[in-house]
Chains A and B, each alone.
Chain A
Amino acid sequence: MNKVSKFIIKYRILVILVIAAITVFMGIKMMDLKINSDIINSLPEDDPAAVLYKEIGEKYQGSAMGVVIIKSDSLYSNRTLSDINTITELIQNSDGIESVNSLTNVIDIYSDEYGIEVGHLVDTDLLPYSDEQLKALKKRVEEQEMYQGAIVSTDHKATIIIFTISADVNQEDVGNAIRKEINGLQLDQKILYGGLPMMMMELSDIIFNDMLWLIPTVFIALLIILFLSFRSLRGGILPLISVGIAITWTLGLMSILGYHITMIGGIIPVVLFAVGSAYAIHVINHVTENQQEDYHAGIVKSLGYLILPVFLSSLTTVFGFVSFIFGSYLTMIKDFGIFAAVGTFFSFLLALSFVPAVLSFAPPKKKKRKTENPLLNRYILQPISKLVVKYPKHILATWGIIVVIGIVGTFFINRSTNLASFFPEKSETRLAEVTLQDHFGGSAPVFVRFKGDVQDPEFLHKMKACALFMKKNPHISNITSVADLVEQMNDAMGEGMQIPDDRAKVEQLWFLLEGQEIMGQLVSDDLDEALIQTRFASISTTDTQEFIDDMEKYIAEHQSEDCQIELSGVPSVYVNMDKSLLKSQLGSLGIAIVLVLLLVTISLRSLPFGLMGITPILATVVTIFGFMGYTGIALDVATVSVASIVLGIGIDYSIHTMNAFNYYYKVTGDIAKATESSILIIGKSILINAISVGVGFSVLIFSHLIPMQYMGLLIALSMLFSSIGALTLLPVLINMRFKRRRLKGLV
């Protein structure tokens, strides 16, 4: 190791140039990184609901449904209808569109004893103009279930245009093009966009904007903290430059390997700033504090001393991230784990190469030791050390109570997987979603696929029965299936709203249906499968779970050899994601605990020490879970990662405390003195590190996505708890153990 350190100092210019060259290269590659917010893509390829969802998208004119909401106080006016028509035609003529359904192009089938009249609800060649015509249109909308509450809101103040996007094009690009063109029309009406493709598009915008603002914010916040802590420009800026390089390398590598920035991947830079700067800080501190006459030899010595602890510290953090690779269900969380781990490793490498190479040019001014931060000592660390020595039982009891309260709270944790709930309540996307839920039966498409002989009356009866069952759910309103169309046609033939019992009749009614555009969305070309299509209007996980459970029960009871039934759609996907969240949480946390425990045990050569070291972090994790339960912060794609990240970072504080205690116990041979000294001396750096990591993560509170905001808040809180835990709970545990004299001689 010494050789490497000497090499770095000797060829410092070369080292800096090589790092600069890699950085420029990676920086160029980084520019090609694309944002991908497709949540469906993030589902594992063996998830049956996701597979079926994709398959339906390819087979039935696109499962990706976008919605344009037009709000107007005068919906039935020539002008508004003209605008609706303009938008409808604009979408129809856009690339990648499979179908468009709006007030101005919807088919109106009218039948009476004389026959059937197929026309459009609105004649676009001659839009209704007179009051009489407009009133007639309103009346027709009110009469028909397929219009009111489906295309026009019940209060007649909003209408929607629903479109589906082909499975073989980029949904986001299509959505973006449409939004841009519609906004370009500068219409008077209030226009909102909904549906998964539009949400994903909005999400990409937010990810981009968040990256644009949060990265400088975290940089400045950390710079201020580091400058205040070290009172030197170099101490502040060098660690941040070093991490900046690590971030560039990480993003560049992502680009080279063909990965995209996802919703959670977007915060990798913020995470690395918060986590990775500590390593460079250690190096700068040590070099500054341990200057020798031969400055360069001093640096080499410092590096030799630092390599192991800094390596261990980065390794625990890497373990925290790596745990996502094995424990997660969503690929975007796995990818986040991989690259956050890689970035942490880069930060470690650069702290031991780039930072000393730069430092070697000029020795930093040696500061007066331990006179600064008297406030921290007097008001925080001294009281803590006194408490620990005098009232260990109180501390233990306090933590015990906190943990118990935390455990109870854990049972109240909600889970959230619905994309709509990730947007702030006042955002346009959320408003659009609320409008769709309240007035249009929601925006989350549901598909029930029936396999069998589609023209068999028995088969159609089964579809009808299933649709009737689904209608009982309060969040299901408009249902479309070929069984309904057959009934309508049967009615048009004068035989009532029912499915004919004679197969020949069904086949002949089919002849009338074949020309209808909607058939492609409901029946396969080979007539061996058909879909029930509807939408689900709640973003609540409980409601969604209930619906899926009911459906699965129904399917199990009603499917047969001749009629196989499967459920898919966005709610199914959300429920699978939800189930996976808990598995992800337990899986990644379990892996992180085992890895970290193993590492601490090996590095301290003692299992009891390993267990003690991990205790404050576990207490923190439980407290945070409890906090989530009581405050209603949901477990979601971002907050699911908090526990493992906290474990990886927070364990360092325990390691520091235990190392310090061992050292001072050896020096003084007195438990109380060793406790006091270790808290006072190591406490400062633990707190400074916890504050900077906490502040770094709390920048996420300014994100425009709710999961990120909570993730920032939770990690910041965790840093507080785990650092306090390492300075209170841990020393008490160590004391108890030493007092029992069981571990004497191990030190």
Chain B
Amino acid sequence: MKKLTAILLAILFSLGLGYQGYAQTGTEILKKLDQVMFSAKDLSAKNKIIITSKSGKQEVRESTVIQKGQEMRLFRFTSPASQAGIAMLSLPNDVMYIYMPAFGKERRIASSVKTQKFAGTDFSYDDMQAQPFSDKYNAKLIETTDKHYVLELTPKAKSEYSKIIAKIHKTEYYPISTDFYNQKNEKIKETAYTFEKVGKYWSPTEIIMFDLKKGSKTQIQMIQPKYDQGLSDDEFTIRKLIN
């Protein structure tokens, strides 16, 4: 009887260890992903945003973007003509300034509504936020194949998502795809990533977001990304926004 108890305890112990081992690995993988995604000090690039509606209608926008760290970003649209010159400056604490050339002035916009769509795209403000995954999600490794890891991410705080299933490259740790599930556990969005090595960084050349409920998709392509150019904080001011 004693022997049996000992065996049972041993099994339980090893199961527990095994579980802990997985959890650690999941968190570790996510931290490595964050390192790949957010290790550059700054970035400047051109963006092409292609929005395709359910009916197949396409709308193309182009912009330049500069970014420093995780919370400073300046977008400036270059086309179409009606939106050319509109610029958005994101600063820490959800503060954003928008500049409209037709009005010739800037306005501060603070939004705490994260589920709102960003400028008609399928990305929500939440999706656009350059915040490390490991800050927002707990990770659990649910599958390992010879090419990738599959993590189940559950939000730490209240979120529109109940979970995200992320497929991550096994050796380079960049994301391959993320599937977003709503509170009813239905898949509502899908993201596919294409990464390329630019200098010492893995750079996302294209991100495609599918809104499964609306049937629309948004592609964001990054052209000529340049990393670690030594951008100063002065680039992210209202004066620069208006310019």
Contacts and interface: CB of A to CB of B under 8 A. Distances in A.
B33 interface: no
Contact of A508 (B103, B158, B183, B184): B103
B144 interface: no
A514 B53 CA distance: 13
Contacts of B120: 511, 514-515
Given A89-B183, A507-B82, A512-B98, A493 B103 contact: yes
A510 to B, nearest CB: 8
Contacts of A124: 158
B136 interface: no
B107 A492 contact: yes
B113 interface: yes
Interface string A483-520: 00000000011110000001011011101101111000
B83 A508 contact: yes
A558 interface: no
Nearest to A126: B158
Interface string B156-194: 011000000000000000000000001110000000000
A511 B83 contact: yes
Interface stretch (A111-119, A180-188, A662-670): A111-119
Given A516-B116, A517-B116, A494 B102 contact: no
B53 A525 contact: yes
A505 B102 contact: yes
Interface string B116-141: 11111000010000000000000000
A125 B108 CA distance: 24
A120 B113 contact: yes
A119 B111 CA distance: 6
B118 A93 contact: no
Contacts, number: 85
Interface residues on B, range: 20 to 34
A515 B116 contact: yes
Interface residues of A, number: 31
Contact of B111 (A93, A118, A504, A517): A118
A511 B118 CA distance: 10
Contacts of B242: none
A660 to B, nearest CB: 72
B109 interface: yes
A733 interface: no
A46 interface: no
Nearest to B185: A93
Nearest to B118: A515
A507 B102 contact: yes
B102 A504 contact: yes
Contacts of B110: 115-119
Contact of A515 (B57, B100, B117): B117
A495 B103 contact: yes
Interface string A45-59: 000000000000000
A672 interface: no
Nearest to B116: A515
A602 B158 CA distance: 80
A514 B98 CA distance: 14
A502 B120 CA distance: 22
Contacts of A125: 157-158
A431 interface: no
B65 interface: no
A308 B97 CA distance: 89
A502 B101 CA distance: 12
A120 B86 CA distance: 26
A124 B113 CA distance: 11
Interface string A199-243: 000000000000000000000000000000000000000000000
Contact of B183 (A93, A495, A517): A93
Contact of A118 (B86, B112, B183): B112
A125 B119 CA distance: 25
B240 interface: no
Contacts of A155: none
Interface string A511-534: 110111100000001100000000
A525 B57 contact: yes
B145 interface: no
A319 B195 CA distance: 76
B55 interface: yes
Q: Give the one of A115, A493, A495, A508 with max B CB within 10 A.
A: A508
Contacts of B103: 493-495, 505, 508
Nearest to A525: B53
Interface string B83-105: 10010000000000110111101
Nearest to A516: B116
Contacts of A115: 97, 107-110
Contact of B117 (A93, A120, A505, A514): A514
A511 B105 CA distance: 15
A495 B105 CA distance: 11
B107 A515 contact: no
A495 B157 CA distance: 38
Nearest to A107: B113
Contacts of A114: 108
B98 to A, nearest CB: 7
B160 to A, nearest CB: 9
A340 B14 CA distance: 75
Interface in A98-142: 107, 114-120, 123-125
Contacts of A509: 100
B111 A508 contact: no
B113 A508 contact: no
Given A93-B182, A493-B107, A504-B102, 9 more contacts: A93-B184, A116-B110, A117-B110, A124-B158, A507-B102, A508-B101, A514-B117, A515-B116, A515-B119
Q: Which 7 A-B pairs have the closest CB atoms?
A: A115-B108, A514-B120, A504-B102, A507-B82, A118-B111, A515-B117, A508-B100
26 contacts: A93-B182, A93-B183, A107-B113, A116-B107, A118-B109, A118-B116, A119-B110, A120-B112, A120-B113, A123-B112, A125-B157, A492-B107, A493-B100, A494-B105, A495-B103, A504-B101, A505-B102, A507-B102, A508-B101, A508-B102, A514-B120, A515-B116, A515-B117, A516-B116, A525-B55, A526-B57
